[in-house]
């Protein structure tokens, strides 16, 4: 007898809601390759149901004083900490990243919640007393209303928290449309926000795919959309959302370069690279899938040290505490990664370590890909130009500093980049001149801390505002500026009433 598959539904109002959609999508256990649940793929009617509650709830929430709103964030932080193990296991079971890394995913999101705990201070406006005779000018930041977030599979806790942590703290209601590949943690986060004291309807989760995304983009009551995912979809979301008159920020894909200068500490670099290229099976938008040794000597020495480090990597199930990384998210993604490896071979790159055909005993149907290293990759190769998003490290040799700088600057993606060097001048020059949004100096994954902001350049981000920190506050609020005068009864100069007022 077939056993019923667990169903993952929307979170509308204060509870899981099956909704009206009849379509479903499989959610896998990437360790075994088996379907472990099915997620409802929602339709317009489900969004409408959530929106009716959100529009009402937002009015009361925006009128709640900021200190009380912040207290919900404090409570939520405590609840996340209390449930950390449970959340990490749930996340790992659908995504496939190892437990320690799943905790990191949650923790990085939690740090944005910590920032949001200070929202009363951040929301204080500006004030000028006496901007003109008897005139004061002040500004206030007000919430937009109901806003939405559409998130990718690779950080199912962090990225939703980047968005809703700020959006809700400043007084908006938030509709979250998570990835259909690992939708359980976002629902759990919404439950915990409710437990933390958030009123019903302020944070809701609608499940779905393109149909739900389009419904969000076209909904007249959704004032802003924050998106994170692959670049073609980010561009689509940006265009359609802006066309509908919304504020949109849409973060896209990446192909981050690690520049290794001849004076770098190579042992340190190899250690950093192994984690940054292969951690989370390379499924990070801030992974380092391209390494650029500067000079032939650097390339030879680096390659010599890299090979044994890669051989020593342990690929295992996501609950294996000794594993460096686990399976990739789906069979389709595994096939895509392996097709890029074949493409690299066909294009003439040197395949030094081949991760295809990797099989884990007892988990032969799991979505595992072994670590892969290519050398002599060139900028003309499609496998270099496009994002692979797997445990594949490509070495592109550069003759000098200027060539390395040009490689990272010319690439279609501009999310992150790192330079490894002991030379402060070279690092300073690099940081100032490179055409990339986030730079690490001897830091392999330069994800900014929560009170700074996150965002790439070029095809890694559409729109002009970054995620979290003050940029996030700006994205999710609008500024109102008030000019006030309290006349004392004298009418003033009638002729001057027809001239534009100046402060001259």
Positions marked catalytic: 285
Which class for 2: exposed (0-12), middle (13-18), buried (19 or more C-beta within 10 A)? Answer: exposed
- Choose between 31 and 154: whose C-beta lies nearer to ligand NAD: 154
Q: Which of residues 477-496 bind ligand NAD (CB under 6 A)?
A: none
Q: Which of residues 422-441 bind ligand NAD (CB under 6 A)?
A: none
Q: Which of residues 183-212 bind ligand NAD (CB under 6 A)?
A: 209-210
Residue listed under structure tokens 């007084």: 171
Task: Tell me the Cα Rg of the chain.
Answer: 25
Does residue 389 interact with ligand NAD by CB under 6 A? yes
Taking the complex as a whole, the smallest distance from the CB of residue 447 to ligand NAD amounts, in Å, to 9
Task: Provide the pairing of β-strand 350-353 with 372-375.
Answer: antiparallel
Does residue 344 interact with ligand NAD by CB under 6 A? no
CA distance 482 to 461: 33
The binder of ligand NAD chosen from 12, 110, 123, 233 (CB under 6 A) = 233
Helix (H, G, I), strand (E, B) or coil at 256: coil
CA distances (Å), origin 354, targets 20, 257, 333, 363: 46, 21, 17, 20
Does residue 151 interact with ligand NAD by CB under 6 A? yes
Give the binding range for ligand NAD (CB under 6 A) out of 50-58, 78-86, 224-232, 315-323.
Answer: 224-232
Give the binding range for ligand NAD (CB under 6 A) out of 31-39, 146-154, 422-430, 480-488.
Answer: 146-154
The binder of ligand NAD chosen from 229, 316, 414, 469 (CB under 6 A) = 229
Does residue 456 interact with ligand NAD by CB under 6 A? yes
217 Cβ neighbours under 8 A, 6+ residues apart: 225, 237, 240, 241, 244, 246
Does residue 377 interact with ligand NAD by CB under 6 A? no
Q: For residue 124, what are the β-bridge partners?
A: none
- Choose between 229 and 344: whose C-beta lies nearer to ligand NAD: 229
CA distance 284 to 389: 7
Q: Give the binding-site size for ligand NAD (rule: CB under 6 A).
A: 26
- Choose between 143 and 456: whose C-beta lies nearer to ligand NAD: 456
- Residue of 146, 149, 117, 229 lying closest to 181 (CA atoms): 229
The binder of ligand NAD chosen from 460, 465, 466, 477 (CB under 6 A) = 460
CA distance 222 to 241: 10
Q: Which of residues 237-276 bind ligand NAD (CB under 6 A)?
A: 251-254
Taking the complex as a whole, the smallest distance from the CB of residue 322 to ligand NAD amounts, in Å, to 27
- Choose between 192 and 212: whose C-beta lies nearer to ligand NAD: 212
- Choose between 153 and 475: whose C-beta lies nearer to ligand NAD: 153
**Under 8 Å between Cβ of 147 and 223:** yes
- Choose between 72 and 98: whose C-beta lies nearer to ligand NAD: 98
Residue listed under structure tokens 């001897």: 442
**Under 8 Å between Cβ of 227 and 250:** yes
Q: What tokens does 190 get? A: 């919404």
Taking the complex as a whole, the smallest distance from the CB of residue 240 to ligand NAD amounts, in Å, to 9
What proportions of the chain, in percent to the nearest 5, are helix, strand and coil? Answer: 40, 25, 40
- Choose between 293 and 456: whose C-beta lies nearer to ligand NAD: 456
Closest residue to bound ligand NAD by CB: 229
Taking the complex as a whole, the smallest distance from the CB of residue 376 to ligand NAD amounts, in Å, to 25
Q: Which of residues 281-340 bind ligand NAD (CB under 6 A)?
A: 285
Does residue 150 interact with ligand NAD by CB under 6 A? yes
- DSSP per position, 19-61: -S--EEEEEEETTTTEEEEEEEE--HHHHHHHHHHHHHHHHHH
Q: Give the number of other CB atoms < 10 A from CB of residue 458.
A: 19
Residue numbers at the binding site for ligand NAD (CB under 6 A):
150-155, 177, 179-180, 209-210, 213, 228-230, 233, 251-254, 285, 387, 389, 415, 456, 460
């Amino acid at each position: 007898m077939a056993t019923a598959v667990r169903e993952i539904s929307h979170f509308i109002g204060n509870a899981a809601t099956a909704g009206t959609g009849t379509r479903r999508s499989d959610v896998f256990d990437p360790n075994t390759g088996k379907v472990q649940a099915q997620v409802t793929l929602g339709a317009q009617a489900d969004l409408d149901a959530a929106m009716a509650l959100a529009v009402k709830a937002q009015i009361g929430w925006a009128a709640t004083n900021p200190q009380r709103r912040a207290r919900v964030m404090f409570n939520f932080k405590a609840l996340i900490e209390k449930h950390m193990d449970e959340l990490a296991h749930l996340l790992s079971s659908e995504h496939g990243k190892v437990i320690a890394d799943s905790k990191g995913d949650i923790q990085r999101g939690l740090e944005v919640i910590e920032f949001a705990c200070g929202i009363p201070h951040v929301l204080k406006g500006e004030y000028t007393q006496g901007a003109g005779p008897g005139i004061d000018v002040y500004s206030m930041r007000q919430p937009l209303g109901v806003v939405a977030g559409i998130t990718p599979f690779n950080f199912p806790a962090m990225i939703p928290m980047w968005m809703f942590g700020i959006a809700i703290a400043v007084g908006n209601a938030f509709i979250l449309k998570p990835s259909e590949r690992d939708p359980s943690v976002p629902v759990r986060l919404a439950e915990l926000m409710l437990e933390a004291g958030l009123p019903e309807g302020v944070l809701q989760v609608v499940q779905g795919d393109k149909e739900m995304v389009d419904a969000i983009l076209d909904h007249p009551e959704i004032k802003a959309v924050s998106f994170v995912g692959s670049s073609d979809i980010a561009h689509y979301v940006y265009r359609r959302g802006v066309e509908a008159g919304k504020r949109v920020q849409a973060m896209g894909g990446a192909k981050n370069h690690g520049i290794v200068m001849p004076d770098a500490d190579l042992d340190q670099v190899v250690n950093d690279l192994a984690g940054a290229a292969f951690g989370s099976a390379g499924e990070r938008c801030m992974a380092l899938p391209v390494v650029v040794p500067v000079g032939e000597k650097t390339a030879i020495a680096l390659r010599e040290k890299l090979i044994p480090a890669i051989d020593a990597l342990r690929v295992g199930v996501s609950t294996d505490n000794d594993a460096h990384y686990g399976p990739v998210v789906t069979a389709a993604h595994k096939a895509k990664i392996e097709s890029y490896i074949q493409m690299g071979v066909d294009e003439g790159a040197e395949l030094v370590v081949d991760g295809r055909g990797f099989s884990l005993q007892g988990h032969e149907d799991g979505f595992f890909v072994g670590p892969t290293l290519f050398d002599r990759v060139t900028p003309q190769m499609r496998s270099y130009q496009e994002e692979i998003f797997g445990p594949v490290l490509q070495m592109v040799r550069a003759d000098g500093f200027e060539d390395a700088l040009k490689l990272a600057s010319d690439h279609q993606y501009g999310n992150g980049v790192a330079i490894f060097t002991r030379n402060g001048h070279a690092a300073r020059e690099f940081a100032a001149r490179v055409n990339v949004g986030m730079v690490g100096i001897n830091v392999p994954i330069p994800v900014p801390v929560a009170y700074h902001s996150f965002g790439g350049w070029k095809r890694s981000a559409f729109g002009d505002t970054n995620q979290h920190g003050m940029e996030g506050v700006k994205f999710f609020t609008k500024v109102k500026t008030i000019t006030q005068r309290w006349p004392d009864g004298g009418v003033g100069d009638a002729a001057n009433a027809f001239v534009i007022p100046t402060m001259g």
